């Protein structure tokens, strides 16, 4: 009885994995993201459901202020001076060859903690796939900055969707029907990526 249940379970799990097309490949995938109001986190979790791998939320040694105006001012100053905020999260990159990198648009740029991550981790020869949420103004220079900070990586087509508008008090927006919409777009994007991310 136990053996037959075990066989059924193995069958179920392997069927699910091959449906995703990422079978036996998840050990080498890292999903790392920055998120303040959880929109990018929700997208990261959806990618994770589809591709597996290790899901890591980027944390800072000194967290940003809760107040929106204060964080906007601090990020603007960090962008102006090129300050790279120290990270609490340190990742050993050795076992990964594919990195999904998620972040919101901040000040129409790549958030300083993501600049820190790319500067302080060796991603040479890894496949890097950016994904983003924003308040409707798009990715700004963020994807370009990923390319310039990671010139020896293989960067694939990124994914970006509208998330929250914290300025207007709209925090987590990727929920309910919007979450269903985003999921559809995301699955379509992952389908296009699949042949490029699966290595034999």
Ligand X SMILES: Cc1cc2nc3c(=O)[nH]c(=O)nc-3n(C[C@H](O)[C@H](O)[C@H](O)COP(=O)(O)O)c2cc1C
| Residues near ligand X, by CB under 6 A | 35-41, 71-72, 75, 104-108, 133-137, 140, 163-166
Q: How far is CA 99 from the centre of its chain?
A: 8
Q: Nearest distance from residue 178's CB to ligand X, in Å?
A: 11
Q: Nearest distance from residue 128's CB to ligand X, in Å?
A: 19
Contact 183, 46 (CB under 8 A): yes
The Cα 106–Cα 78 span in angstroms is: 11
Contact 84, 119 (CB under 8 A): yes
Q: Nearest distance from residue 123's CB to ligand X, in Å?
A: 21
Q: Nearest distance from residue 159's CB to ligand X, in Å?
A: 13
The Cα 56–Cα 119 span in angstroms is: 17
Residues pairing with 159 in the sheet: 131
The nearer residue to ligand X, 63 or 136, going by C-beta atoms, is 136
Residue 169's φ and ψ, nearest 5 degrees, are: 80, 15
The nearer residue to ligand X, 29 or 173, going by C-beta atoms, is 173
Helix, strand or coil for residue 157? coil
The nearer residue to ligand X, 35 or 98, going by C-beta atoms, is 35
The nearer residue to ligand X, 104 or 113, going by C-beta atoms, is 104
The nearer residue to ligand X, 60 or 165, going by C-beta atoms, is 165
The nearer residue to ligand X, 60 or 198, going by C-beta atoms, is 60
Q: How far is CA 162 from the centre of its chain?
A: 14
Output the residue with the shortest Cβ distance to ligand X. 163
Q: Nearest distance from residue 93's CB to ligand X, in Å?
A: 23
Contact 39, 172 (CB under 8 A): yes
The Cα 119–Cα 117 span in angstroms is: 5
Q: Nearest distance from residue 73's CB to ligand X, in Å?
A: 9
């Amino acid at each position: 009885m136990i053996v037959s249940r075990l066989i059924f379970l193995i069958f179920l799990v392997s069927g699910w994995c091959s449906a995703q097309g990422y079978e036996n490949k998840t050990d080498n995938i890292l999903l790392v993201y920055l998120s303040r109001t959880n929109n990018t986190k929700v997208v990261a979790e959806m990618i994770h459901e589809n591709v597996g791998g290790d899901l890591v939320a980027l944390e800072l040694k000194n967290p940003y202020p809760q107040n929106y105006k204060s964080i906007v001012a601090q990020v603007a100053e960090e962008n102006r001076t090129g300050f790279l905020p120290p990270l609490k999260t340190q990742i050993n990159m050795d076992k990964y060859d594919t990195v999904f990198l998620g972040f919101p648009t901040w000040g129409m740029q790549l958030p300083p903690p993501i600049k820190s991550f790319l500067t302080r981790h060796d991603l040479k020869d890894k496949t890097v796939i950016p994904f983003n949420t924003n308040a409707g103004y798009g990715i700004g220079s963020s994807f370009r900055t990923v390319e310039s900070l990671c010139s020896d990586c293989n960067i694939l087509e990124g994914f970006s969707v509208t998330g929250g508008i914290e300025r207007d008090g709209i925090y987590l927006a990727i929920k309910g029907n919007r979450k269903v919409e985003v999921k559809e777009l995301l699955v379509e994007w992952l389908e296009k990526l699949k042949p490029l991310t699966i290595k034999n």
